[in-house]
Each structure stands twice: as C-alpha cells, then as structure tokens.
Structure 1
Amino acid sequence: MMVLHCRILHCRALLLAAILFGIIQAPAQAQCEPANWENAPYSVCTFTAGKSDIRIFLDDPDGAVFGSFDAVSQSLARQGEKLVFAMNAGMYHPDYQPVGLFIEGGVEKMKLNTRNGPGNFHLKPNGVFYVTKNSAGVVESDKFATRRSDTRYATQSGPMLVIGGRIHPRINEEGTSKKTRNGVGACSGGRIVFAISNEPVTFYEFATLFRDKLGCSDALFLDGSISSLYAPSIGRHDRWRPMGPIIGVVEKGAP
C-alpha cells in the first residue's frame, strides 16, 4: 500500500510539473459566478488571456449561420471539442451578418465599420474585442485599425463602456433606459471578463460594474435585450435564437 501511495504521488507531481511547464495544457474551466453591483444581479465569467481557447463563431462548416449555442456545441463535439462558455458577440443585421468588423479563424469576413449612424453601435467611440494566439483585449475601433495582423478572432460593437479606466464620455450617469445587457472587459492580471445583467440595468450601472467591481481598464458593450449566456458550470443555458456572432471558450472533449 505504501509503494502504491508513493507512485500515485509521483504521478501527480509529474502531471503538475507538465502543466506548469506547458507540456500539458490545463483545462480552461469556465470560472462563472454570480455577482451583485448597485443592487442588481449579474453573472460573470472570467478567463485568462492566452491560456483559454477563446473563439468567435458565425458560420458552421457548411456556411450556414450557427444561430444558437446548441449548434456551436454540437459542431464542436463532432470535432472532439467541448464548449464550456458562450455569449452573444455583438450586433448584427436581419440576415445575422455582423454590423462591424468580424474576423473568424484569421479571416476577415466583415471590415471595420467607422461610419457615423444611429443607435448604440455608432455611439462613438465604439470598439473591438479581439483574440490573438497569446492575448486578448478590448480597444477603440480607430486604434484597432493600426494593430498587427496577428488577430485570430474579432468582433466590433458599441459603445465602449470603459476607456482607459474612464467611463465613456457620452454615457450619462442620469440615464434612465434599462435593459438586459452583456459585455466584455480587459481587466487587471490579464483577465478577460464577460458579464451579463440578470435584470435590466442602465448603461452607466453596467459600465461601473466593469470599472469599479471587476477592475477592467477597458470594456465593450456587446448587446442588449437579446443578451444570452451559456455557462453549464452554473447551470445557465439561455436559448435565444437565432442570433448572429457568438463568443465561445473551447476545451478538448473527453477522450
């Protein structure tokens, strides 16, 4: 029994060393939890840029729009992969095509949209959530135009909620419009944080959640009203459909 116990400990030590040195990649389990801010409930999911496999989905292998979390999950399962988190990923037209920049698998499928216009998307500055091989972040749209060409995934939406630690100048603290909202923030310690309100909130309340509670220097509004979350780790599976772009975090499926 003593020999067997030592062998088990030895195996565990080897596994831990392999993870620490990058030989084996530790699973990116969805770190989702409830949060409260200014008397409103939220669901918050946190990942580490460069360690979690963050992707953005639109079209399935046959070229049809996925349109739902289930469709993405089933497609990944056929490839031996597992969807552990997902959220709607920005505004789209009636045909489900993105309103602004969209990059999927390194391919630019929609160009950066810098035009003026009505609605939240054009409440400038708007912004881009992007993913590279080793990082992810949120940046104003005009600044993204000068980025290197190493972006694997990107989605454009608007408005920015937090810019360099400051609330978007056109988000009014006295605003009264309340909706269910979701967004993403680039936060301290390389954290990428996705949040969704579980009841209607104002833009200002949502922005201060990212800045003051979650510690995000930059944050981007993704959408409102249709805001949806897939987070099995907390028993959440919203079934709004059809939808346009979808952000997901992926792991290798069970062997």
Structure 2
Amino acid sequence: MRRLLSLSALGLLAALAGCEPAPEGKPITRMEIGKGDDDTAAAPAAQATQNQAVMAEGSACSTTEFEGVVLTHCIADPANHRIRTALADGDGKVFGSLDSFSQSVDQASVAFAMNGGEFERGGRPIGYYVEAGERIVELDREDGSGNFYLKPNGVFYGSGGAWEIRTADRFYSTIGARPDFGMQSGPMLVIDGELHPGIQKNGPSRALRNGVGISADGKAHFVISDTPISFGQLARFFRDELKTPNALYLDSNLSSLWDPGTARLDVNGALGPLIIVERDNGASE
C-alpha cells in the first residue's frame, strides 16, 4: 500500500498547498461523536432547495422519514452508474462547492453528487484519497481526536461498477491494487451488520449529516438528512432500513447534495472532496 506519489498527484498536492484560502475548507471536527456539534448551524433552513416528496422521473433520489427525521436517499446502481471522486479543476483550484463543480461538467451525465469526507483548510482531504486512479493522500492509520479518529474509521472505494466500504485497518491489510476512486472518512456507522460500538443510541447532538452504505446487491446508498439527525439514528437507518452490512459517515452541517433530476443544488458552505455518481452511457436505465 505504500507507493510513491505520481507527478500528477504531487502537482495537485502542490496546488492545494499553495491555493488561496477562499474557498476555505472545514477543519476536521474536534469533538466526540454524538456530543457537542453546533446544532444551531444544522437548521433545515440551511438547505438551498426543498426535497421532492417522491422520487421524480429522471432522479436517483427519493425522500423518506425515519424516526421522525426527513431523509433523502439516493441509489447508485452498478448496472447504470459509475462513481468517481472530484476535488479540483485542471488548474488545481479546489471546486469548493457542488455549484462550482456543476459548471465544469456536462450536467446530463451526472445522476447526483454529494460532499465526501472531512477535510482541512484549503480543501485537502483528511486521510486516504484517490482520484482517477491517482493517490493524492495516503491512508491515515494514526490516532487522534474527533469523529474521523473514532476507530474504526473506513474507506469507501471502487473500480468500475464494484464498490466497497471497509474499515481502514482491513483495507490496509487486504487491498493490493489501487482502486479507481477512494476516500477515507470516519467513523464507520455500521460494521459487518453491527452498529459502531462508540455511537450513542440517541445522543443529544443533532445536525445535518450524510453517509454512504453498500448493500448486499452491490448498490451504493447515499443518505443525507434534511432535518437534524443524531449519529445513532443515521446508523440505524443504514442497518435497519437499508440493510447495508457496512456504512460510513461522511460529514455534518456542510452535508450537501446535487440532484439534477429535481434541480436540487445545496449550498451549505465550502466543501472539500466530492463524490460524483455518473450515468453509464453504455447502460439503459
């Protein structure tokens, strides 16, 4: 797993190191899970647009309610979609928002996009990050404070239409070939069908949060809360409703979604790495 960075990866790192502070990324959350989040910043009004009541034609997303919380659930199907990560444009300038990214691509090719894992100021991802087969940041197996370091954390990764989520330690010990995309975040929400042992059943912290899980049929399920939610509720939704054996927390308060099918484009603050779900031109939906 220890490989030298390619020239292109080094170039992106240099660009990130020298980029202007705006748009400014979010420092890693320095708090214990389920405690102390800035819940006032997580009001539903932070969403730029309202959700559709049902899955609209041409959208991979739908709304649902779980334990009194409104959620948007988007499905990436390997038969119809491909997933990639995106951080910066060709000049190394961090996109910083879904709006900025949307202006750089053929919008008809995108099924939906969501913010990825946590990041440092300037947008640099915290932990393992691979884009288009290039490793930009190495796997982080160190100890630390905050949600990212509540072990086990994990890696969401894949190549082609095969996607997985593994704990960081398992990823390190079992994965040899570099995936097409990958990003590390934390904590894990569900591990082999069990809730993360450090997550409170229903802690007092409430925030807009998002995560991703992989179901037994290989589909990737992306969930973002449209009203404040606890860690425990989000984890239970993945385990009990979506039946995903493994699920990974992505972020909170800045959690954002772009769904071209419903014209939803959230603007909740400066972002770092993005997860892009694209339509597979070779497949018919």
Which bracket does the TM-score occupy, shorter chain normalised?
0.7 to 0.9
1:22-79 C-alpha deviation (Å, 9 max, x unpaired): xxxxxxx5410001111110000001236411111001111111112122222222xx
**Aligned partners of 2:213 and 2:220 also within 8 Å:** yes
Deviations, residues 155-174 of structure 1 (Å, cap 9, x unaligned):
10000000000000111114
Aligned pairs (5 A) from 1:197-236:
197-236=225-264
Contact 1:38 / 1:205 at 8 angstroms: preserved in 2? yes
Aligned residue pairs total 223
Give the superposition deviation at 1:235: 3.4
1:105 aligns with 2:132: yes
Give the corresponding residue for 2:100: 71
**3-state DSSP of counterpart to 2:144:** coil
In 2, distance between residues paired with 1:242 and 1:32? 23
Q: 2:175 maps to which residue?
A: 147
Contact 1:165 1:216 in 2 (8 A): yes
Match of 2:147 among 105, 111, 120: 120
Which of 173, 182, 186 pairs up with 2:210? 182
Q: Stretches of 4+ moved more than 3 A in 1?
A: none
Counterpart code for 2:244: C
How far apart, CA to CA, are the structure 2 residues paired with 1:236 and 1:100?
A: 29
Equivalent pair of 1:56/1:245 in contact (CA under 8 Å): yes
Q: Which segment drifts farther, 158-167 or 184-193? A: 184-193
Q: 1:189 to 1:74 in 2, by over 3 A?
A: same
Q: Shift of the alpha carbon at 1:189?
A: 1.6
What is the CA–CA distance in structure 2 between the aligned matches of 1:71 and 1:53, rounded to whole Å? 21
1:217–1:81 Cα change, 3 Å? same
Counterpart of 2:217 in 1: which secondary structure? helix
Q: Aligned to 2:271, which of 227, 231, 243?
A: 243
- Does 1:168 pair with 2:196? yes
Secondary structure in structure 1 of the residue aligned to 2:205: coil
Q: In 1, distance between residues paired with 2:112 and 2:225?
A: 16
TM-score when normalising by structure 2: 0.74
The residue that corresponds to 1:82 in the other structure is 109
How far is the alpha carbon of 1:134 from its aligned partner? 3.2
State whether structure 2 residue 71 is matched by structure 1 residue 53.
Answer: no
| C-alpha contact 2:110 2:260 (8 A) present in aligned 1 | no
Larger radius of gyration between Structure 1 and Structure 2: 1
Worse overlay, 229-238 or 194-203: 229-238
CA distance in structure 1 between the partners assigned to 2:181 and 2:264 by the alignment:
25
For 1:252 and 1:123, how far apart are their aligned partners in 2? 35
Whole-Å Cα distance in 2 between the matches of residues 148 and 49 of structure 1?
22
Cα deviation for residue 242 of structure 1 reads 2.2
Contact 2:253/2:268 (8 A) holds in 1: no
In 1, Cα distance between the equivalents of 2:259 and 2:204? 29
Find the aligned partners of 2:176 and 2:81 in 1 and give their Cα distance: 21
Structure 2 counterpart of 1:37: 66
* Corresponding residue for residue 192 of structure 1: 220
Cα offset, 1:249, TM superposition: 1.3
Unmatched tracts of structure 1, length 5 or more: 1-28
TM (normalized to structure 1)? 0.83
Quote the offset at 1:201 in angstroms.
0.9
Q: Unpaired runs of 5+ in structure 2?
A: 1-57
The reply to whether residue 157 of structure 1 matches residue 179 of structure 2 is no
Q: Distance in 1 between matches of 2:79 and 2:167?
A: 20
**What CA distance in whole angstroms lies between the structure 2 residues aligned with 1:228 and 1:190?**
23
Q: Corresponding residue for 1:8?
A: none
Instruction: Give deviations 1:182-212, integer Å, cap 9, x for gaps.
Output: 0000113211000001111110000001011
Whose strand proportion is higher, 1 or 2?
A: 1
- Contact residue 65 and residue 96 of structure 1 kept, 8 A: yes
Task: Output the aligned Cα RMSD.
Answer: 1.7
Query: Would the alpha carbon gap of residues 110 and 150 (structure 1) be closer, same or farther in structure 2, given more than 3 Å must change?
Result: closer
Displacement after TM superposition at 1:150 (Å)? 4.1
